[in-house]
Structure 1
Amino acid sequence: MNKIGFNNQKYLEMQSKHIMERIAQFGDKLYLEFGGKLFDDYHASRVLPGFSPDSKLQMLMQLKDDAEIVIVINANDIEQNKTRSDLQITYQEDVLRLINEFTKRGLYVGSVVVTQYNRQKAVDLFKARLKRRKIDVYFHYYIEGYPTDTKKIISDSGFGKNDYVKTTRPLVVVTAPGPGSGKMATCLSQLYHEHKHGIKAGYAKYETFPIWNLPLNHPVNLAYEAATADLADVNMIDPFHLQAYNEVTVNYNRDIEIFPVLKNIFEEIYGSSPYQSPTDMGVNMAGLCISDDDACCNASNQEIIRRYFVSKTRYAHELCSHEEVQKQEVVMNKAGITELDRPCVMAARKKEEDSRSFSGAIELDDGTIITGKTTNLMGACSSVLMNVLKYLAGIDKNKVLISPEAIVPIQNLKTEYLGSVNPRLHSNEILIALSVSALHSEDAKKALAMLPKLKGMQAHVTCDVADVDLSIYSNLGIMLTYDANKK
């Protein structure tokens, strides 16, 4: 487990070189679409063990004096309060977080672009929040016939009706809180407007996934399909690249669909296009920096299964259609895996069968699996968490670290004063009780000191999980799945 499969230093060197070459290729301005996440690309770090979550940021810092950042968010994601599953915050909150993080590092955030704007009230309220922070906001609109009706798109009634985003620096980094935000469409719209303003501008794409020089059904690429199941993205052989160079490369459907538009825009502006395929647009070197393919395949298969459980949870909570779950099942079939290829799932369900109560299991780095069950004092998440801390600290599993006398007052507070129906302690409450016990108990102190070792471990719980438990597990770096249809 956690075996390194990716050479991050090699990646930084190769990627920086290729980005600089692409910048030099164009004239007055380059729009560089940054796919994935800049600060915390945890998906990449999960499927490419060894990949640093802030690799893109490290490269951007080298260009910060020439760069400005434009953040793109889809109006529908604002209206629907779409949430980042890894951080458990909405996309609009993530935009505000990104602005703060960029600014703290000395990077200039020029504006926010809201795509698919249709006078949504939630969007107008979000705009007011940005204005209070002195961030310029621009609106882009739905274009009928997009992306196939190129004549309509490249006209005053297409891109022409979008706001022109005013930028001041030669490198414009276009990023977003998540996929489907409209980054590429924003870049294309800007190429159209820059031309009308007499400015020569270019476009390039820095997207980690899918990795163009890995096979179509390689687990790393399949994990990307699983991560974007809510968008119905599909990895495809790039037909334009195959035709132009007789070389098989992988891209995804939205880039392939939009490529004729991009090519036509370049041809209309410059008389010819610098790109013959969507693959040409990219500067991604990640596939050349994989040092252990088996490690990346194993990590990606686990990510595929986790994404499957995420979609099942969304469906159970009526946040998506059954088609999304079916899409995840298709991806798992392509990878040749099932949910039972996640060892903690099998262990948790076996524990539930034996104990006849909701249970949990956590898989350690060495493959050891620790289980726990729901009791009168603790829920499954709290129980298995305590058992793991005991194991790591070398404490007998039957030893009581927190006395019932210490837990009962917390339960009474919950049920008698805070309106809770469930008296069992959640993960945050059990950790607070453990922290208090550590003042007087050496064993409790040892158990508490094991918390940093939980990062990267896999876990499964056989029932729905409260938000507070999800937050604690996320903060500890534990990769949790659960059976959301059971309460």
Structure 2
Amino acid sequence: MKKGFDNAKYLQMQSQHIRERIAQFDNKLYLEFGGKLFDDYHASRVLPGFEPDSKLQMLLQLKEQAEIVIVISAQDIISSKVRGDYGITYDLDVLRLIDAFQGMGLFVGSVCVTMYTAAPEVEAFEHKLNSVGVRTFRHYKIPGYPNDVARIVSDEGYGKNDYIETQRPLVVITAPGPGSGKMATCLSQLYHEHKRGVKAGYAKFETFPIWNLPLKHPVNLAYEAATADLNDVNMIDPFHLEAYGVTTVNYNRDIEIFPVVNAMFELIAGKSPYKSPTDMGVNMAGNCIVDDEACREASRNEIIRRYFKALCDHKTGKNVDSEIFKLELLLNQAGLAVGDRAVEKQAHAAAERTGGAPAAAIELPDGTVVTGKNGPLLGAASSALLNALKKLAGIDHEIDLVSARAIEPIQTLKTNYLGSRNPRLHTDEILIALSSSAAENETAAVALQQLSKLKGCDMHSTVILSSVDTDTIKRLGMYLTCEPAYEQEDRKYHKK
């Protein structure tokens, strides 16, 4: 819970560094924006003090100079590819991003459809954007990409792509997700700009891995944990080491593609402005860590959370064997073991006291751990939540915040009318009941006021929680881990 990152310093330093990079070129910089612009909760978990919308706030400091181009692959439109975090298709996410950017006062110049393929879905998407005043451009598949550099950097390659007309010095290239063609779009634009006599530049902005932290620093290991499904591997940047004699960290895909990118720069501009993948980056996050140990501890916890998630995914039938293997290696590298956290130990102790029934534990900001168990009225997560609020408010543990008389009608509604087999109240239901009680019960009102203090608290459950409980806990800003076990292990096919 200790602050480890200076967010204000980051906003100032990052925006200034990007301004300096713009000035290095012909007052035109194409900035490939990796990772999440909104809701970067991974960064906020491993760098305590980093605000989830920090990158957006940084862009707002440059909004008079910046315009945004959103890129999306035609293949992702046709296949209706879905974002795992939001559960919406990539084409719908483009519309969401446009609304979000414009709502914050940022200028969205256009949308580029990459790897263009003529298809009804693609044409309908373009028509929808054009009808609301958003220009669309097309970039095409290039045979031999990315290795046939001579063909790519020619009129038969990038030359066939539409030139995206931009108005401002900083052009931010972003996308709904990876594999959309952000880098290719930037390089295509450089080719067209140089043909027009504009010596534009390219840079890359990704928060992780942090180039000026050690290779095996927990913050960088946590990035590998977060991308275990992509099999990204952090590496020492050999090009940077050879050019400058300085050890920096990058990741395998950027290092592998750098010789090709560098050759493209040379063909486009006659000379490459960069000697290494690290040179291309503009990330200043590593310079804004103010408590290294706090960030190390937060990152170690994140690796454990990722491991538990993979175990639960495996339990629910997902094919994540390779991810689990990778995460186990990362646990070893970070010197971590499952079961060492206080919140895990207390959850298991509570389960043992009740003969193995489901239990949950929450670690509060001062390090105190409270627990909850299944009962006739509440599930373990709901019970732990109420006990945490009591502890934070200084309310005696024996006092009922919500009376049984108030809970029983809700149980009747669930079981008799809504078809639920589980009469116990979920976390969202007990919070609604607590809110109702707060109108007449001052003690309940005091407890309800403690909810904001749960943000950033670790919670552990001895069983996989329902999606309802998981979503509520996530919205409270808590960090949940679950053991890969069902409350009813005899139900083989349908778990609820």
Same fold (TM over 0.5): yes
Residue in 2 that maps onto 1:366: 366
- DSSP-derived class of the 1:79 partner: coil
* Alignment partners' CA distance in 2, 1:293 and 1:149: 44
Give the superposition deviation at 1:297.
0.5
1:79 and 1:122 in contact (8 A); partners too = no
* Alignment partners' CA distance in 2, 1:474 and 1:391: 20
* Alignment partners' CA distance in 2, 1:483 and 1:187: 44
* Alignment partners' CA distance in 2, 1:3 and 1:290: 12
- The residue type equivalent to 1:37 in the other structure is K
Residue in 2 that maps onto 1:290: 289
1:179 and 1:228 in contact (8 A); partners too = no
Residue in 2 that maps onto 1:439: 439
Residue in 2 that maps onto 1:248: 247
Q: What are the superposed Cα offsets for residues 276-304 of structure 1, whole Å, 9 maximum, x if unpaired?
A: 00011112222222222111110111111
Tell me whether 1:187 sits opposite 2:186 in the alignment.
yes
Residue in 1 that maps onto 2:493: none
Residue in 1 that maps onto 2:490: none
1:148 and 1:257 in contact (8 A); partners too = no
Residue in 2 that maps onto 1:24: 23
* Alignment partners' CA distance in 1, 2:319 and 2:176: 19
Give the superposition deviation at 1:260.
1.8
Q: What are the superposed Cα offsets for residues 251-284 of structure 1, whole Å, 9 maximum, x if unpaired?
A: 0111112212221121112110000000111122
Identity %: 61
Residue in 2 that maps onto 1:238: 237
Compared CA separation, residues 127 and 448, structure 1 to 2 (3 A):
farther
Aligned pairs for 1:2-401 (under 5 A) are 2-27=1-26, 29-73=28-72, 75-76=75-76, 79-84=80-85, 94-115=93-114, 130=129, 133-138=132-137, 140=139, 145-155=144-154, 158-159=157-158, 163-196=162-195, 199-355=198-354, 356-401=356-401
- DSSP-derived class of the 2:48 partner: coil
Residue in 1 that maps onto 2:461: 461
- The residue type equivalent to 1:447 in the other structure is A
Give the superposition deviation at 1:461.
1.3
Q: What are the superposed Cα offsets for residues 227-270 of structure 1, whole Å, 9 maximum, x if unpaired?
A: 11121111011111111112211001111122122211211121
Give the superposition deviation at 1:181.
4.2
The farther-off stretch of 470-479 and 156-165 is 156-165
- DSSP-derived class of the 2:4 partner: coil
1:351 and 1:359 in contact (8 A); partners too = yes
Give the superposition deviation at 1:215.
0.8
Give the superposition deviation at 1:134.
4.0
1:191 and 1:202 in contact (8 A); partners too = yes
2:29 and 2:200 in contact (8 A); partners too = yes
Kindly report the root-mean-square deviation, in angstroms, between the aligned alpha carbons of the 2 structures: 2.7
* Alignment partners' CA distance in 1, 2:310 and 2:124: 29
> Could you state the TM-score of these two structures normalised by the residue count of structure 2?
0.89
Q: How many residues align?
A: 484
1:148 and 1:258 in contact (8 A); partners too = no
* Alignment partners' CA distance in 2, 1:469 and 1:411: 16
- DSSP-derived class of the 1:279 partner: helix
Give the superposition deviation at 1:389.
1.0
Q: What are the superposed Cα offsets for residues 287-328 of structure 1, whole Å, 9 maximum, x if unpaired?
A: 222222111110111111112222233333444431112112
The farther-off stretch of 409-418 and 379-388 is 409-418
Compared CA separation, residues 135 and 482, structure 1 to 2 (3 A):
farther
* Alignment partners' CA distance in 1, 2:125 and 2:432: 36
- DSSP-derived class of the 1:421 partner: coil
The farther-off stretch of 136-145 and 337-346 is 136-145
* Alignment partners' CA distance in 2, 1:172 and 1:246: 32
> Could you state the TM-score of these two structures normalised by the residue count of structure 1?
0.90
- DSSP-derived class of the 1:168 partner: coil
* Alignment partners' CA distance in 2, 1:120 and 1:308: 40
Aligned pairs for 1:406-485 (under 5 A) are 406-485=406-485
2:462 and 2:485 in contact (8 A); partners too = no
- DSSP-derived class of the 1:287 partner: helix
- The residue type equivalent to 2:338 in the other structure is E
Q: Which consecutive residues of structure 1, in runs of 5 or more, have no partner in the other structure?
A: none
1:192 and 1:265 in contact (8 A); partners too = no
- The residue type equivalent to 1:374 in the other structure is N
Compared CA separation, residues 157 and 416, structure 1 to 2 (3 A):
farther
- The residue type equivalent to 1:454 in the other structure is L
Give the superposition deviation at 1:473.
1.1
* Alignment partners' CA distance in 2, 1:309 and 1:140: 41
Q: Which consecutive residues of structure 2, in runs of 5 or more, have no partner in the other structure?
A: 488-496
Give the superposition deviation at 1:131.
5.2
* Alignment partners' CA distance in 2, 1:132 and 1:319: 40
* Alignment partners' CA distance in 1, 2:152 and 2:291: 44
1:37 and 1:176 in contact (8 A); partners too = no
- The residue type equivalent to 1:82 in the other structure is R
